[in-house]
Structure 1
Amino acid sequence: MKRRGFLKLGVGAAVVIGVAGAGVALIKPGLVDGKLGPGARNVMRAAAQAVLSDLLPPPGAARDAALALQLDRLDAFIAGLPAPTRKELSDALGLLATAAGRYALVGLSSPWATATLYEVHEALNAMRVSTSDTKQQIYHALRDLNAVAFFNAPDNWRSVGYPGPVQIP
């Protein structure tokens, strides 16, 4: 096959994957009634564990409670985003919640709900250093959304040594 053939094949595959991904995202959006849907909750829960791993309690009931609270904070933060941003986020999370999207964009073969912390760390790191702008944007979205929701809560400030805002007389 010649170079032109490879280019045509690449463009064709990208179009097919894009259309399929958009179709899946329309059928199963990441956000349902403005909140994380079941698939998106799995994505964000796994990402939260990887992004905030050292800041969360050890595995067990306390960690599960902290992650549930983190997902509630994410819902509240996402609700305050502009509608077009919520739509893009919903599409992206809907695609990431599918097996094809998870594997193609994140490189994660295990489902989000059963992936180990190590697998998610490795997948996120691969996205971070990827030459693909799309993969880097998805990495930054997963990381930044979790960081903003976590560090915006005054209850979490102590865990990083932040005493809170200084009162100006």
Structure 2
Amino acid sequence: MAISRKNLISRRTVVKTSAFGAVFLFLSTWNCKPSTTSVIAGRGIDCKFLDPEAQEFFSHLSEALLFQFLPEEPLEKEKVLNEVILGIDSYLYTLPIHTQDEILEAIQFLKLRVVRWYLFGSGSHWELTDRNVVIKTLNQWKMSYISLFRSIFFLLQSMITIGFFETPYSWKYVGYPGPKHALGLRHG
């Protein structure tokens, strides 16, 4: 019964998390509309949920998280990243509307130049953002004492890994021959 005597979550942690969460949610919904001066041409893929800016956001986050698995050749790497984005898009498209709205608000917040500069070190374009800074920021979120940051990290990580590992196109880059081989139906 020692667990009943311990405080699992202190009141101070609840207050800090609530305060940070309230500020974060306020900033994510306040004046966070897609810019009309966007110069993103798009990746040429048919997404049902993600707009071109969100596609770029997930492309660069995916490149930072998956760089060890991605091919060296630039065109092939773009094909793999496009498949990851399509996987993320199909996953998000199947979620309930209220969850989609919350995710869109979070993406809009993370696309703001000020937020991007503060979190990832570059307020202009994702191409100018250093991969190591992105990885460092995401690792800080993963280990943060604020549960909201941990939740954002695990949401982003799970969407990217789902997008990468669900498509047969990327299996060859991790050495997975496919489910038929795993079931013993095909060898070689």
* TM surpasses 0.5: yes
Structure 1 portions without partners, runs of 5+: 1-6
Written as runs of structure 1 = structure 2, the 5 A alignment for 1:120-139 is 120-139=134-153
Whole-angstrom CA distance in 1 between matches of 2:23 and 2:169: 46
Larger deviation, residues 51-60 vs 86-95: 51-60
Q: 1:164 matched to which residue of 2?
A: 178
**Which amino acid is the alignment partner of residue 166 of structure 2?**
N
The correspondence for 1:20, drawn from 27, 34, 50, is: 27
**Which amino acid is the alignment partner of residue 134 of structure 2?**
V
The correspondence for 2:129, drawn from 112, 115, 132, is: 115
Whole-angstrom CA distance in 1 between matches of 2:110 and 2:26: 14
Larger deviation, residues 79-88 vs 60-69: 60-69
Instruction: Mark the CA change 1:17 to 1:155 in structure 2 (over 3 Å): closer, same or farther.
Output: closer
Whole-angstrom CA distance in 1 between matches of 2:157 and 2:128: 19
Structure 2 portions without partners, runs of 5+: 1-14, 36-46
**Which amino acid is the alignment partner of residue 141 of structure 2?**
M
Which has more radius of gyration?
A: 2
**Aligned CA-pair RMSD:** 2.8
SS at match of 1:36: coil
Percent of residue pairs identical: 23
Q: TM-score, normalised by structure 2?
A: 0.68
Q: 2:4 matched to which residue of 1?
A: none
**Which amino acid is the alignment partner of residue 20 of structure 1?**
L
1:42 deviates by: 2.5
Larger deviation, residues 82-91 vs 36-45: 36-45
SS at match of 1:131: coil
Q: 2:83 matched to which residue of 1?
A: 69
Deviations 1:45-78 (CA, angstroms, capped at 9, x unpaired): 1110111111111162222232223222222222
SS at match of 1:110: coil
Counting matched residue pairs gives: 153
